[in-house]
Amino acid sequence: MVLVINKNKSSGQNGAAWVTQGVRSLFCLLLTWVVGGRLAAGTAFTYQGRLSDGSAAANGSYELRFRLHDALAGGSPASAELAFPSVVVTNGLFTVSLDFGPAPFHGGADRWLEISARPAGSINPLATFSPRTPLHAVPYALFALSTPGDASALVTGTVPDARLSLNIARIPDILSSSNTLSDRVYATQADLQAQVNALSNRVAQLTAALPPQSSLVAPSLPSGLVIASPVPGDLTLLSQGLVQFIGFDAPSWFTGSSVGAATARHGHGAVWTGSEMLVWGGVVNNAVTASGGAYKPGNNNWSTLSPVNAPSARRLHAMAWTGERLIVWGGLGASFLGTGGVYDPVNQSWSPTATMDAPSEREGHAFAWTGARLFVFGGRNDDGLLGDGASYDPLGNLWDPLPRPNAPPARRYATATWCGDRVLVFGGEGDAGETDTGASLPMTGGVTHGTWSTLSAAGAPSARQGHSAVWTGSRLIVWGGKAGGAPLGDGASYDPHTDAWTPLPSDLAPSRRSGHVAFWTGREMLVFGGEDASGALSTGAAYDPARNQWRHLSGTGTPTARKNFAGAWTGSELVVFGGQSAGNPVTTLGTVQRLVPEAAWYLYRKP
């Protein structure tokens, strides 16, 4: 069911602060509830909207808030407020997921949705839209099956036909309209049921035959049993008398187009915009560059970033994508740099970042995009290692210095990771060498700085630099790096809510390395490339926290060994570009390669 709502923004007191800025908006909101076989598993629904600025579609980041009420006007709140500090609006369109839980809909009382908005990062009051939007059909479907209004009470039985609307087609009516269709449906149903029964019997056999793995013996497994494993030559299965008989290869690496590609380079940065990977800066022909390119995997095509008003040439700089624009700041050119630029790919134009209140010039600083600000901390310049930083607002072109009390000790080559409500800083090189310390800085809405606190040292990874850090949505994962010049091949995950570390397994983990790329796919952490004592690497692995298991990434398609490179995760592919090769002499790379990181599967059969 789709409910279409047209809203004119209130011109009342709450909205006046940004109405006067010329942002008079029209919201056309689509509330979509997808009903499927797993409806009872959740109460979230998707809210899709269109935001206009005057007669043009809005573009930018907006803070949106949603709350249920028990009346069209006045009344009392019927739910907690859901706040989204930085929702990206592209060509007027945005999407959020709302989940008020089941409680507001118990009892069948009417509910109205109140919406408030303002530009992200604005200090002006929120504009509250009026009138509120009534919600009737979809959320109440959760409780439409039982007389008391609570669907959880319906354990068995069927819904009476009389309870269904007349516009819902009955299966007998559909089937009677066509004997051929009826025959096909029943034949398909019978075939599927037979397959389900066979699978159920096999599962029952396997379940009965499988006590804990350590006590398995070959005769306990039924003859003809087939088991799939992502591990070739799986010793556990082979030891039980199974025989590997076929394998399904993982997808191969794909080498992208070199036509119009960015010049071969290393020490550059890369970001993913949602449709293309932007590459900028680095070292070309032994000199820093201010050039860049954009690679679109969709059509395997390169284009050039405008050089007009671009920041000065540099390497080891910060790069972040805001949802609309690319931010470049700091790094090392002819000297340490404290300048930067913001690139708009739509208009193909650069504008300089503010210098007032900006951090001092530096390279090797940790950085992260919070959804509203570019966070910068640490690094090194002519004065030595640095222990300060700032956050940058690209909309206002303003810097806000980070708090100094309890800040982590000065360091460079640390990681900074945005974790939804705070930035976590870990590792790096301090005055006494590599460090194993970390710190947390809360940032309300990705904007307002809180107070620094120190991460627990119990179970933390050993001191390191050149490591990777990714956020899974609930935990920070730190892996690899080097200490004293020696590469590392271990890591740990950190829960910021319990302030506790958990070591990662070593079985099937990647070989020791530093300077690799790492990305979170939504299910796994991907690790690829980097270097060890012998040089650049062309291997990688994927770590699944839910299973606490590693697996190797595909090596088919001849992935190029590379270090000092950059890459991006597109949502379905790992894309890497540039860097330096293995071998002697080391060469600078100008190739782009892509991998769909699916696992290979191997089938084992019990004779």
- Please tell me whether residue 75 adopts helix, strand or coil conformation: coil
Helix (H) or strand (E) run with residue 42 in it: none
- Residue 36 belongs to domain spanning: 2-163
What pLDDT is attached to residue 86?
87
Does pLDDT of 144 surpass 50?
Answer: no
Count of residues for the chain? 607
Mean pLDDT of the chain: 83
Cβ proximity of 346 and 305 under 8 Å: no
What pLDDT is attached to residue 160?
56
Phi then psi for residue 15, to 5 deg, are: -95, -5
Q: What average pLDDT score do residues 504-514 get?
A: 97
Phi then psi for residue 190, to 5 deg, are: -65, -40
* CATH number where 40 lies: 2.60.40.2060
What pLDDT digit, counting tens, does each position of 24-76 carry? 233 333 333 333 333 334 577 777 777 766 667 778 888 888 899 888 888 88
Q: What average pLDDT score do residues 545-569 get?
A: 95
Closest among 357, 301, 349 to 325, alpha carbons compared: 349
CA distance 506 to 51: 49
CA distance 392 to 358: 8
Q: Is residue 144 assigned to a domain?
A: yes
pTM (2 decimals)? 0.65
* Percentage of the residues of the chain whose pLDDT score is greater than 70: 78
CA distance 531 to 206: 44
Q: Is residue 125 assigned to a domain?
A: yes
Q: What average pLDDT score do residues 538-557 get?
A: 95
CA distance 567 to 553: 16
Cβ proximity of 541 and 502 under 8 Å: no
Q: Report the number of distinct structural domains present in the chain.
A: 1
Q: Is residue 103 assigned to a domain?
A: yes
What pLDDT digit, counting tens, does each position of 371-390 carry? 999 999 999 999 999 999 99
Q: Is residue 577 assigned to a domain?
A: no
Q: Is residue 140 assigned to a domain?
A: yes
Q: Is residue 402 assigned to a domain?
A: no
CA distance 503 to 363: 31
Q: Is residue 6 assigned to a domain?
A: yes
Q: Is residue 540 assigned to a domain?
A: no
